Amino acid sequence: MDKSLQVICMGAMSHLGLMFFIYPERIITSTHQGHWEPILIQSLIFIFFLWLYLKGLSYFPQQDIISILKGIGKTLSFILLFPVLLYFIVTTIELINAYAELTTIIFLANTPTWAIFTLIILISTYIAVKGIETILRTSILIFSIFFPLILLMILLSFQDIDWHNAFPIIDTDFTFFRQPSFYTSFFSFAIVFSFLGFLPADILYNSNKIMWAVFLLIPFFFLSVYLPLLTFGNETARTLLFPFIITLDKVQVEWLVFDRATMFFALSLFTFIMLLTSLLLWQASQITSQYIPGLKTKYHIVGLSVSIFIICLFIHSWLDVEKLFLWNTPLRFYILIVLPSVIFLIGVRRKQKHHETY
């Protein structure tokens, strides 16, 4: 049965959860003008390597990337998969801490951070233990509820924009290439569709539908950056920790159940990220269960969750989270560029051997 819709909802929801929270601040601080340039470059890189990833996986229709890499040797597969496992764990830590910070600011100012950690990890662990099919089914439900209202919030935020703030629109020196924030902003691209390589054989999807969904998603990256820029101007937007969230804070909707649109929007993102965290835990458990056999997958997930919770307790400030984003950059490019390239090259080699045999 084709489950492309479930896969697309999971991917789109994860992208939205990342792009509206961390991404705008990273891009805005990377350059003073021509912000569309880094967004376009990142989008093209992402589209190309996602296509490469899907093409590589198409050569192995009944296999996930773990079994694909095991075909070239157990030791080599471990070397190639260990950075993936490490990235999943570090990214989960980043997400939990980042969204705990957001929750503290908007919702629960007097709630201790460890309590928010506990809530996120418990819910994510429970969903992850239920398995990938539960995660994908839940993604359709959550996406169907929240996406139309998020879209409405975005449309309403246009009421405060000033188009003059878009100028100057070209950065002829491409100064953003020299800024660390440009490279850390790839965080919003690298992690999302990696789960395609971990899906079991009975979960089928159409690669063309995935690519079309990505093309429809790219404009939201531009909106996440340009709505704060057009609302506040470049100099003011650069001083904001969460530019898009602050932009929505100006939107007043009388019929909304919450006092501020920001609260509703942040709650939506919080829900998206909890599901993404469960997906990351599930993916990490698929790797650990291959190299630490003898335990059921649910015990791997629980073990990972407990370890992540303990590590989160030692992260005390947003500055520590910022350092994690920076330190995690090499692994981010490994997931985005190296892993798809390796899968593609293995697939091409297999196809060539198949033709030589016949």
pLDDT digits (tens, 9 = 90+) for 189-236: 887 788 888 988 888 888 899 999 999 999 999 999 999 999 888 888
Task: Give the residue numbers spanning the domain of 17.
Answer: 4-357
Distance CA 30, CA 175 (A): 8
Low-confidence ranges of the chain (pLDDT < 50): none
Distance CA 332, CA 226 (A): 24
Residue 256 pLDDT? 58
φ, ψ of residue 173 to 5 degrees: the values are -90, -10
User: pTM of whole model > 0.85?
Assistant: yes
Task: State how far the alpha carbon of 207 is from the alpha carbons of 52, 61, 211, 341, in Å.
Answer: 11, 12, 6, 17
Closest among 202, 82, 88 to 136, alpha carbons compared = 202
Residue 301 pLDDT? 93
Residue 82 pLDDT? 93
Residue 49 pLDDT? 94
Residue 356 pLDDT? 59
Angle value at C-alpha 71, between 47 and 351, nearest 5 degrees: 60
Closest among 262, 37, 239 to 157, alpha carbons compared = 262
Q: Classify residue 138 as exposed, middle or buried by CB count within 10 Å of its CB (0-12, 13-18, 19+).
A: buried
With contact defined as beta carbons under 8 Å apart, do 339 and 53 qualify? yes
* Number of structural domains the chain divides into: 1
Return the CATH number at 347: 1.20.1740.10
φ, ψ of residue 2 to 5 degrees: the values are -75, 120
Residue 135 pLDDT? 92
